[in-house]
Structure 1
């Protein structure tokens, strides 16, 4: 099991930071200091805390900034890094970005979006769920917030303990959702080929689709996806400057 971060996005709503940096490298902790820490830093620290010795990062927009920091990130967190290039990062959405890491996924991964500030308890929850999975279950486990009050923009999930996830989409009534997918997933090696094929179908249908649409494609094919509730945990997806302010408040707590 290794870590995997999707860090190819531009994050244009975070300009001027993202004029020169990918979203994953926008400073979160000590933003004005030379040793400021980013979402990527926080995620790699989480991986290290749960014992992952290797991680892959899918890069695209302003990828040179990640390449420049690779050696320092490896020293700081003790995690060996592999960078995977997404050649369509500025044109296509992240279904293609995750598909670019299809060979990495065969090793088994904890996937984290490069814009999600969250504590290591999320990764611990996923690994604990892995250990209790029944046969035929637990090949893909989504970290889900079942506490937060939902609105229209969240990536919502409908799930049943016996049947797994039936729907993952933003386009549904929040009142009917089980919770919000927070952008962190455990993917076992035996799910890799099925997921890669579903992702390929998804981005070939529409390059602007999300990898969560690939999850839905898997579900429609009869593949079971499970969830792990993260509890009452502070986290945020950083899309804009208000989210960044919230992310900085949260990150200082752990």
Structure 2
């Protein structure tokens, strides 16, 4: 099993933490970086190879990760000279990937079974499998609906539920091969094109632990909770 980890972003939302460190290397708790946690999890779940797509401060990621032998992984690198979006760097390395592989952001903290996501994708026949998570947003205002200058509906401080992408995908080489190499191409571009073609992605719904470390609130929460959850996330690592 093979995973592509997207680790080239500048992490603007996490400044000043990311002024000197790439986002995947920011510390969680006192012991681990987020990338170290992800690589440990992938190794524990049976992955043997990882491609790291690097860009901003990528030399620090290379220096920290090396060849991956520390995790019994084989690590390869692809460098973005210019930002290529979520899928752009993956498209450029297709010739070195198996038919089915995992793609994930390098800033997610979760106890999802990455191997099961990939197995599910390999067997479902879909062009793309998207891990999804239910989030709630509380609106701190009274919400009005109006028509012809009249208020027709009112809800006081509602909570909105919706499914979000976790930044974890099962993907196939055949899905990306039609697209141009070397041009920016995002997850949004891929999903919209697949929908337009009548070949929709499949959902992998998940209800366990997940935080997007790129969000300052989630990063603070991860640090506050890490001592209590690291045994579960790392399972003895």
SS of 1:222's partner is coil
Q: C-alpha displacement at 1:63, in angstroms?
A: 0.8
Q: Which runs of 5+ in 1 are unaligned?
A: 31-35, 153-173
Aligned partner of 2:221 in structure 1 is 246
User: Is the alpha carbon distance of 1:151 and 1:61 closer, same or farther for their aligned partners in structure 2, counting shifts above 3 Å?
Assistant: farther
The two structures have a TM-score, normalised by structure 1, of 0.71
Counterparts of 1:151-166 in structure 2 under 5 Å? none
Check conservation: 2:2, 2:98, Cα contact below 8 A: no
In terms of fraction of residues, the more strand-rich structure is: 2
Aligned partner of 1:11 in structure 2 is 11
SS of 2:136's partner is coil
Check conservation: 2:121, 2:128, Cα contact below 8 A: no
Distance, in Å, in 2 between the alignment partners of 1:151 and 1:100 is 40
The two structures have a TM-score, normalised by structure 2, of 0.76
Instruction: Report whether the alignment pairs 1:79 with 2:63.
Output: no
Aligned partner of 1:130 in structure 2 is 121
Q: Which consecutive aligned stretches of 4+ in structure 1 deviate over 6 angstroms post-superposition?
A: none
Check conservation: 2:109, 2:211, Cα contact below 8 A: yes
Counterparts of 1:1-254 in structure 2 under 5 Å? 1-30=1-30, 36-71=31-66, 74-89=68-83, 93-119=85-111, 121-130=112-121, 133=124, 137-145=125-133, 147-150=134-137, 177=162, 179-194=163-178, 197=179, 200=180, 207=184, 210-231=186-207, 233-252=208-227, 253=229, 254=233
Q: C-alpha displacement at 1:77, in angstroms?
A: 1.3
Check conservation: 1:45, 1:77, Cα contact below 8 A: yes
Distance, in Å, in 1 between the alignment partners of 2:16 and 2:78 is 25
Distance, in Å, in 2 between the alignment partners of 1:41 and 1:117 is 11
Q: Which runs of 5+ in 2 are unaligned?
A: 140-158
Q: C-alpha displacement at 1:142, in angstroms?
A: 0.8
C-alpha distance after superposition, 1:22-55 (max 9, x if no partner): 111111131xxxxx32221121122112211000
SS of 1:149's partner is strand
Quote the RMSD (CA, aligned, Å).
Answer: 2.9
Q: C-alpha displacement at 1:189, in angstroms?
A: 3.4
Count of aligned pairs:
210
Q: C-alpha displacement at 1:249, in angstroms?
A: 4.1
Distance, in Å, in 1 between the alignment partners of 2:90 and 2:19 is 23
